[in-house]
Amino acid sequence: MNDTSSAPSKRQGLKRVWHAFFYSAEGLRAGWSEPAFRQEAVLAFLILPGAWWLGQSWTEMVLLVGVVVAVLVVELLNTAIEAAIDRVGPEWHEQSKRAKDTGSAAVLLSLLLCGGVWLSALWRWWSA
């Protein structure tokens, strides 16, 4: 007799949270295999300490950190979209191209937002 109590749909409470944590860790490992995510994560590691230096208040520090984390989140979502599209099939299709291009545009917008926030913080610091 199969024990289905550990099936994802049957998990509840802390057991569900415990398993979700490991699924998320697998997702981060999958993201790390993508060069763009790796580059952004390394850059985040390098610039995030600057949030404590540039931010003049708790709110500013959170904003500086938040936009960097948002870039990583959007990159992971873009990777998920690309993986799902590639799973459907290798042949070219206009809807597949549209989905991938839209995901890429989301990454671009998150990078522009992040750059704008950090440049404005640097501008304020330089002009003070």
Cβ-based neighbour number of residue 108 at 10 Å:
12
Q: Which of 40, 75, 91, 94 is catalytic?
A: 75
Q: Is 82 a catalytic residue?
A: no
Cα separations (Å) of 7 from 1, 4, 22, 24, 33? Answer: 14, 5, 15, 17, 28
Retrieve residue 91's tokens: 């042949």
Retrieve residue 62's tokens: 């959170």
Active site residues: 75
